[in-house]
Amino acid sequence: MPGDVGHSATGELLAVRGLTKAYGDFLVLDDVGFSLPAGAAAGVVGPNGSGKSTLLRCVVGTESADSGTVLLDGVVLDETASEVRAALAGVLDDVDFFTDLSVVDHLRLYAWAHGATDPDDVVDGVLAELGLAAAADQLPSTLSSGQRRRLALAACFVRPRRLLVLDEPEQRLDAAGRVWLAERLRGEKAAGTAVLIASHDDDLLDAVVDMRVHVGA
């Protein structure tokens, strides 16, 4: 049954096979395939316009591929299944915020909706880790672009996750933020989370990923 999250016989958490996507006759993704076990990280690399973000959107299901399959635990990844949504955390380029909800309320709502037993505790820890504690009561529109990026990343860490999909997460982060990000992603891998990350930052990729997926080559 699509969306049932069990365990793959091959040990792959995520498998992408023959993914193809075109806009009209402009081929963006051409037969892309790779697999990713739990506790490993893959970096999606390629020049601007090569289809990195499109690939990630197809993986998380916010865009539909023309052909090919995305498997989670050996089963076709169906984003409409609640089990899949519980397993898949992501920050892509489509993040938006409630204009009248504070930073901490965004995260508490999100953690609670994911079944956190103590949302306040989870959120306080992540806010402190991301340096957002002082901005907890602020509305998102009063945050800097870097702080908004941190808030989007924070959303991934106040919820359960087995697969983390990040589209250029280092964007708008300062140097300390990039160091933190690399350490955090290594910690995610150690905890058994698979990480799929598109980035132009070689330092981040060198520090985190185990394999690179080249697109648009």
Cα angle 134, 138, 140; round to 5: 120
**Beta carbons within 8 Å of 28's beta carbon, 6+ residues apart:** 21, 22, 51, 54
- Residue nearer to another protein on the CB measure, 47 or 115: 115
Is 4 near another protein (CB under 8 A)? no
Residues 130-169, one symbol each (x = binds another protein by CB under 8 A, - = not), give ---------x---------------x---xx---------
Our finding on whether 98 is near another protein (CB under 8 A) is yes
66 is a site residue for another protein (CB under 8 A): no
Residue 155 CA to residue 134 CA, distance in Å, equals 17
CA nearest to 91, candidates 148, 41, 141, 14: 148
| Residue 22 binding another protein, by CB under 8 A | yes
What would the two tokens of residue 113 be?
């909706």
Per rule CB under 8 A, count of chain residues that contact another protein: 46
Phi, psi of 37, deg, nearest 5: -80, 165
- Is position 76 an interface residue for another protein (rule: CB under 8 A)? no
183 binds another protein (CB under 8 A): no
Q: Are 171 and 47 in contact (CB under 8 A)?
A: no
CB closer to another protein, 45 vs 123:
123
CA–CA gap between residue 178 and residue 181 (Å, rounded) = 5
**Which residues bind to another protein, rule: CB under 8 A?**
22-26, 61-64, 79-80, 82-83, 85-86, 90, 94-98, 100-102, 105-106, 108-110, 112-118, 121-122, 139, 155, 159-160, 187, 190-192
